Amino acid sequence: MNRILKTTAIAAAVMGVVGVAQARDQVRIVGSSTVYPFASYVAEEFGATTDFPTPVIESTGSGGGARLFCNGIGEGTPDITNASRRMKPSEFERCVENGVTDITEAFIGYDGIAFAQSNENDAMDVTLEQIFLALAAQVPVDGELVDNPYTQWNEIDDSLPAREIAVYGPPTTSGTRDAFEELVMEAASEEMDAYGGEGYTDIRTDGAFIDAGENDNLIVQRLAENTEAFGIFGYSFLEENSDSMMGSSIDGVAPTPDAIGSGDYPVSRSMFFYVKNQHADEVPAMNEYANLFMSEQMIGDLGYLKGIGLIPAPEEMRAEARSAVENHETLELADLK
Amino acid sequence: MSQSFDEISAQLRRRHRKSARLKWMSMGALGLAGLFLVLFFTDMMIKGLPAFQQAQIQVEVDYSEQASQLPLAAVQEDVRPLVSRGYLRLIPGRMEDNAELLGTTRMEWVLADSQVDQYLKGHHTRLSDSEQEVVDRLQAEGRAELRFNTTFFTSGDSKMPELAGIASAAMGTVMTLLVTLAVSFPIGVMTAVYLEEFAPDNRFTQLIEININNLAAIPSILFGLLGLAIFINFFGVPRSSPVVGGLTLALMTLPVIIISTRTALRSVPDSIRHAAFGVGCSRWQVVRDHVLPLALPGIMTGSIIGLAQAMGETAPLIIVGMVAFIPDVAASFSEAATVLPAQIFTWAGEPERAFIEKTSGGILVLLAVLISLNATAVVLRKKFERRW
C-alpha cells in the first residue's frame, strides 16, 4: 500500500511540474518570417531596456501566425501576430468565431522584394511583364495559352541578353512568394487579354524557376556560384550583400529605399502586426512592446529598424498608425475588404 | 574433367585481381568519406574560428546628464557609429544604478559594432571610408583590437551579431536533455527488461517489437506533431518550454534506448541467469543483481548515443515552438527556451554577414559537445565491456 501511495505521489508531482500554469509576463509573438528580423530587434531592445522579460518570437510565416493567433483567447495563445501582408478577411472571420474580437492593426512600414543577380554580370533591367513571361507556367503565344516555351531571356524581348532563364525563388509556404505572386504575377497578367482580365499566378515547374527554400541566404549563396541565374528575395538581403549582388530595375525603377517607400518600385509590400487587445490585462507588457515598436526611434526615418532593412512609411502614415495602436482601435472586417 | 595448370593459375590471378580491386574500391570509399569530412571541418574552422574573437575599442565615455537620456551622447561623435548599440543602450540603466557615475568621464574598453569587427577581421564591411579611417587610427594607437569573445558564451541570442551568444541555447539544451533523460531512460530500460526477461514470446509481444523497431525509423518531425497534439494541445504543457521539448525528444529517443538495452540484455549469457536461478534467486533478483549490472555499459552507451541524436534534433522542436527568438536564459523548466541546433538554424537565416561566423562557431561548439558525448560512450564501452 505504502508503495502505491509513493508511486502516486511521484506521478502527481510530475504532473504538477508539467501542468504549471503559464505565468505570463512574457509576450508571445508569432508570424511572418519577413517581419521577424524587425520584431526580434524590437523585442530585444524591449527586454534590455525595461524590466519585462524579452518577448518570445516564433517565425511561423504570416499564414501560420494568423492560424495560431486566431485559435482563441487565453494564456496558451499568442498575443501578437506579425504579417507581411494584410490579414485576410477569412482569417479575421475565423478569429471572431473563436472569440478573438478585439484586434488592433499596426502598420510598420514597407519591405521590397529584389529581383537580383551576381554583380559580375551586366545590369539587366526588366519589366514586370518580362518577369511574368519568363516565369509563368502558361503564356500567351499568338493569342493562345501554351506551356511556357521560353528558355532564354532574349526570346522574350530582343533587348534582353541571350542568357538562360534560371530564377531561384522562395517556396509556396513563404510570404515572399505570396507577395511575389500578387505583385508581379497577378499585376502583370491582369492586363493581358489572354487571361481574361484575371490574375494568373501559376509559376512554371519545368526547371526554369528553382525552389530554393525559405532561407534567403541560401539564394544569395547560390547566385554567387551560378552567376547566370537570378534570385527573388527580401530587400534587406540585397542591401547586406551589396558587394556581390545587384538588384535589377523593374519597370525602370531601381530597388532603393526611397523608391520602395514611395511605392514607385512596383514590388514593395506593407508589413503589419496584430495585437490581441483582450490579453491586455493578463499580459501588461504587450501594449508597452507595441508602443515601443511604433515609436519614431524604431520605425522612423532615423529609426533603428531602417538600419536592418525596413523601409519607413511617410511621416503622416506613421503618425496615423501610431495613434491607432495607442488608442487600441478595433479592427473591423470592413477595413480588410 | 581436369584443369590444366595454366587454367588454374589464370583463374587464381583473376581472383586475386578481383580482391585487389575490391580492396582499392573500399579504400577509395573511405578516402572519399574522409575527404568530405576534412572539407567540412576546414570550412567550419575557417568560417567559425573568427567567431571566438570579438573587436573591442577603447573610447572616452562621458556619463553626462544628457547621456542618461540619449545614450549616444556618451561617446565622441567620430566613434559613435563604431560602438555597439548593445553597450550604449545600457548606459542609462547603469547610471541609474550607480549615482556616482554622473558627471564623470572614463576611458573604457567597449564592445565594438559588428561592422568594425568584420572590418578588423578583413571581411566585407558596410563602414564608410571615413569610418574605416577612424578604425585604422584607433588600431594604430592600440585602441582597437580583437579579443577573446566571452560574450559568445555568456549571452543569449541577439539581433546584434556582436552581442549574440549561445548561453541561452546551451542552457536550454541541458534542460531539455535532462527532461528527455529523466523520461526516456527509466521507461526505455524498464520496457526492454520486461520484453527481454519477463514477457512471453507471443503474437502480442512480437507486434510490440515490430512497432518499436518501426518507431526508431520514423522521421523525427512526426514526433513533433505528436508532441504538439498530446503535450501542448491536450495536457496544456507550456509551448516552447524545455518540458515539452524534452518530452517530445523522449518519445524519439525511447525506441533507440529500448533497442540498445535489449541488445545489451541479450548479450548477457544465459549461464549467468541459470546460475542465479540455481541458487534460488527470484526473477526480479536475477535481473536486478546480475543481468542489469552486467548489461549496464551497453545500456549507457545506447542511451548516450540516443541522447546525442536528440541533442542534434531541430525538426520536432520547430513544431513545439522551440525554434524562436529567445535571448533570455530560461530560469525554469516551464519557461521558453531554445536549443543549440535551433540557435544555429535561426542564425543561418539572418541577413547580417557577421552571423555567418556565428553560425559556424555554434556548429563548432555543438560538434565539440557531440564528439565528447560519443567519446564518453566509447570509453564507457571499452572500460566496462566484458566479453563472454
CATH architecture of B167-384: Orthogonal Bundle (1.10)
Of A144-148, A323-327, B66-70, least confident by mean pLDDT is B66-70
The type of residue at B335 is E
Enumerate the H helices of chain B as residue ranges: 5-48, 65-69, 85-88, 91-97, 114-120, 129-140, 151-154, 167-193, 203-215, 220-227, 242-266, 270-278, 283-285, 292-311, 315-319, 340-348, 354-384
pLDDT at A234: 86
**Is there a contact between B159 and A40 if contact means CB atoms under 8 Å apart?**
yes
Q: How confident is the model at residue A20 (pLDDT cuts 50, 70, 90)?
A: very low
**Is there a contact between B328 and A53 if contact means CB atoms under 8 Å apart?**
yes
Q: How confident is the model at residue A17 (pLDDT cuts 50, 70, 90)?
A: very low
pLDDT at B65: 84
Domain boundaries, chain A: 25-110+269-336, 112-268
B173 contacts B141 by C-beta, under 8 angstroms: no
Distance from C-alpha of A257 to C-alpha of B302, rounded to nearest angstrom: 55
**Is there a contact between A36 and B325 if contact means CB atoms under 8 Å apart?**
yes
CATH superfamily of A25-110+269-336: Periplasmic binding protein-like II (3.40.190.10)
pLDDT at B118: 92
Alpha-carbon distance A240 to nearest alpha carbon in chain B (angstroms): 6
Alpha-carbon distance A200 to nearest alpha carbon in chain B (angstroms): 30
Residue of A nearest to B342 (CA): A58
Residues 6+ apart with CB under 8 A from A104: A274, A275, A277, A290, A324, A325, A328, A329, A330, A331
Query: Which tens digits make up the pLDDT trace of A307-320?
Result: 888 889 889 999 99
**Is there a contact between B351 and A236 if contact means CB atoms under 8 Å apart?**
yes
Of A28, A44, A76, the CB nearest to B159: A44
Q: What does each of the 388 residues of chain B score in pLDDT, given as a tens digit?
A: 567 888 899 999 999 999 999 999 999 999 999 999 999 999 999 999 999 999 999 998 888 888 888 888 888 888 888 999 888 888 888 888 888 888 888 898 999 999 999 999 988 888 888 899 999 999 999 999 999 999 999 999 998 899 999 999 999 999 999 999 999 999 999 999 999 999 888 899 999 999 999 988 899 999 999 999 999 888 988 889 999 999 999 999 999 999 999 999 999 999 999 999 999 999 999 999 999 999 998 999 899 999 999 998 999 999 898 989 999 898 899 889 999 999 999 998 887 888 989 999 999 999 999 999 889 888 888 888 776 6
Residues of A in contact with B243 (CB under 8 A): 17-18
Distance from C-alpha of A49 to C-alpha of A297, rounded to nearest angstrom: 13
State yes or no: ipTM above 0.95: no
Among candidates A61, A107, A43, A101, which has minimal Cα distance to A276? A101
B118 contacts B354 by C-beta, under 8 angstroms: yes
Residues of chain B with CATH 1.10.3720.10: 167-384
Residue of A nearest to B234 (CA): A19
To the nearest whole number, what is the mean pLDDT of chain A?
Answer: 87
A296: contact with B, CB 8 A cutoff? no
Owner of C-alpha cell 515609436: A295
pLDDT exceeds cutoff 60 at A176: yes
**β-strand pairing of A56-58 with A28-31:** parallel
Q: How many CB atoms lie within 10 A of CB A15?
A: 10
The type of residue at B333 is F
pLDDT exceeds cutoff 60 at A4: no
The type of residue at B221 is I
pLDDT at B175: 95
pLDDT exceeds cutoff 80 at A6: no
pLDDT exceeds cutoff 50 at A21: no
Query: Which tens digits make up the pLDDT trace of A178-235?
Result: 888 988 998 888 888 888 778 888 999 988 999 887 778 888 888 988 888 999 988 8
Q: Which of A46, A51, A56, A297 to mutate to test the interface with B (most CBs of B within 10 A)?
A: A56
For residues A296-315, average pLDDT: 88
**Is there a contact between A17 and B243 if contact means CB atoms under 8 Å apart?**
yes
Alpha-carbon distance A59 to nearest alpha carbon in chain B (angstroms): 6
CATH (one of 3.30.1860.10, 3.40.605.10, 3.30.70.3270, 3.40.190.10) for A112-268 = 3.40.190.10
pLDDT at A109: 92
Residue of B nearest to A18 (CA): B237
pLDDT at A322: 94
B304 contacts B381 by C-beta, under 8 angstroms: no
pLDDT at B277: 93
Radius of gyration of chain B (CA): 29
Residues of B in contact with A240 (CB under 8 A): 126, 351-353
B339 contacts B322 by C-beta, under 8 angstroms: yes
B168 contacts B326 by C-beta, under 8 angstroms: yes
pLDDT at A1: 45
